[in-house]
Amino acid sequence: MDLQTLFKSIGTIANMTELVLNANLPLSQLHRLDWMTKDQESSHMNIFQSYSSNGTTVTLYPMQIRTFQITIN
């Protein structure tokens, strides 16, 4: 989904930052606890993230909710 196309009637996206779901922290600053399992493997699951090279296109997977802070010029 291209968010620039979605918001084109109100302006151009100048900045876009993905936030955690409750929007109180940038996703890039989130540090989850990493528990080790009995097999000595990490319990951390990778989250699917997809951005385009222009920075305004995102991919949403089934049952996924993502939160963005967008600055529009």
Domain boundaries, the chain: 1-73
> How do residues 13-64 score in pLDDT, each as one tens digit?
999 999 999 999 998 888 877 777 777 776 666 665 666 556 888 888 899 8
pLDDT reported for residue 36: 74
Torsion angles phi and psi, residue 71, rounded to 5: -105, 125
Q: Where are the alpha helices (DSSP H) in 1-73?
A: 3-6
pLDDT reported for residue 28: 85
pLDDT reported for residue 53: 53
Q: What's the pLDDT band for 71 if we cut at 50, 70, 90?
A: very high
pLDDT reported for residue 51: 61
Separation of first and last alpha carbons in the chain? 20
Task: Name 52's Cβ contacts closer than 8 Å, sequence gap at least 6.
Answer: 2, 58
pLDDT reported for residue 38: 76
Q: For tokens 């922290």, name the residue.
A: 25
